[in-house]
Amino acid sequence: FTGSNNMRKAIVYVENNDWTKAAELWKIDVNNTNKRIAGDAAYNMALAAEMQGKLNVALVWAKKSFEKFNNKSAVDYIHILERRIKEQVKLNKQFAGEQVIR
């Protein structure tokens, strides 16, 4: 989402795969008085966390986007993240103790 100046600035970071810098800008907008911008920022924080491999953190942000800011776009994303977390747990159990060769 790109509903604020910070979000528009974050696009450059996302295009350069710098999710940490993008998240720094989005985190500011989570406190925006405009609930739509705050909800979009929380959703973007979820995306950043997922891109950094932090699925549980992503789920927390996605839920915040929906529950606190009523961002309906987050509902489907919450279900996707829950499914990915379950799949990750399953994979971790299957590969427990095994060395993965790449």
9 compared with 2, residue with greater pLDDT: 9
Contacts of 60 (CB under 8 A, 6+ apart): 46, 49
Closest CA to 47 of 8, 88, 14, 89: 14
What is the distance of C-alpha 96 from the center of its chain?
Answer: 27
Residue 51 half-sphere exposure toward CB, CA atoms < 13 A: 17
Output the pLDDT for position 38: 96
Mean pLDDT, range 13-26, rounded to an integer: 96
pLDDT value at position 3? Answer: 74
Would you say the pTM of this structure is higher than 0.85? Answer: yes
SS3 25: helix
CA distance linking residue 21 with residue 26, whole number of Å? 9
Residue 28: its pLDDT value, please? Answer: 96
Q: What is the pLDDT of residues 24-82, one digit of tens each?
A: 999 999 999 999 999 999 999 999 999 999 999 999 999 999 999 999 999 999 999 99
